[in-house]
Amino acid sequence: MTVRVVTDSGCDLPPALCDELGIEVVPLTIRFGDESLVDRKDLTPAEFWARCKAAPALPETAAPSPGAFEEAYRRAHAGGADGVVVVTLSSKMSATIEAAQLAVDAVAGDLPVRVVDSGNASLGEGMVALAAARAGAAGQDLDAVEHAARTAAAHTTLVAVIDTLDNLRRGGRIGGAQALMGGLLSIKPLITVSPTTGGEVAEAGKQRTRAKAVNALVDKVRAIGPVSALGLMHAEAPDVEDLLARLDDIVPREDIIVADVGAVIGTHVGPGCIGVVTVGSDR
């Protein structure tokens, strides 16, 4: 049985990895004023950050249409897929899952499709899609690929340091991290998304300097315990290599997935964000 994985561009997976595993990425739309751009097609992460520096206001993001997901399902079917597993941004952050679900009905007579809420964002979502894609590449059936995605989602934790809460506040995605607000301009906050936060952004601490915040990030990653996979996500952060070196004893450097934060997530977390995503061992 051939099972393909579809996800959305909030996953921040490296394009080469998506190509390698046949993961189809349905893009969200980014709007700068009256101009609409297709994420990762009309706008690379580097171009996005350059635009943000010059833009007078934050861009807005829009979920894909059900039609965009239907087209992705039909392409998978035409390419030989017997089933599709879809992994989406957390339903607490985006309406993307609703569009993915609506499209299921349109192909119901031709192709079985299972929709999985990653309960996460950025590479947190990406690691769930990756677990599903690897199960599919191993020849597992639709039930098993869906199970791989749901298992990964139940064990995935994202912890990140951000330089400013302004983007989260203005974008309305601050969720449980609201306690961080209030005169914290000099504070470097940590945020987290995981099954225990219910798929929402929550406070994970705050430090007075970036160096201390990254130290706290590493401590939190180590406290998670054994992991089966680990990734690093960043938004043009200056300290990527330093953090990678500090994670090397947890997961070998060559096995750590490094992802650029794109427009969908970058709109909300702002430049300089750096984070680690772990998939805990299923014990």
Q: Of 128, 125, 160, which is closest to residue 237 (Cα–Cα)?
A: 160
Task: Reduce the secondary structure of the chain to three states and give it as a string.
Answer: CCEEEEEEHHHCCCHHHHHHHCCEEECCEEEECCEEEEECCCECHHHHHHHHHHCCCCCEEECCCHHHHHHHHHHHHHCCCCEEEEEECCCCCCCHHHHHHHHHHHCCCCCCEEEEECCCCCHHHHHHHHHHHHHHHCCCCHHHHHHHHHHHHHHEEEEEECCCCHHHHHHCCCCEHHHHCCCCCCCEEEEEECHHHCCCCEEEEEECCHHHHHHHHHHHHHHHCCEEEEEEEECCCCCHHHHHHHHCCCCCHHHCEEEECCHHHHHHHCCCCEEEEEEECCC
Residues 6+ apart with CB under 8 A from 43: 30, 37, 51, 263
Instruction: Provide the residue count of the chain.
Output: 283
pLDDT for position 57: 85
Q: pLDDT tens digits for 136-165?
A: 999 999 999 999 999 999 999 999 999 877
Q: At the topology level of CATH, where does 155-280 sit? A: Hypothetical Protein Tm841; Chain: A;domain 3 (3.30.1180)
Q: Look up residue 36 and give its amino acid.
A: S
Residue range(s) in the chain whose domain bears CATH number 3.30.1180.10: 155-280
Residue range(s) in the chain whose domain bears CATH number 3.40.50.10170: 3-154
Contact 114, 266 (CB under 8 A): no
pLDDT for position 177: 53
Contact 94, 88 (CB under 8 A): yes
Q: pLDDT tens digits for 71-99?
A: 999 999 999 999 999 999 999 999 999 99
* Residue ranges, the chain, pLDDT below 70: 166-186, 282-283
pLDDT for position 182: 45
Choose the CATH number for 3-154 among 3.40.50.300, 3.40.50.10170, 3.10.105.10, 3.40.309.10: 3.40.50.10170
d(CA 219, CA 222): 5
d(CA 237, CA 87): 27
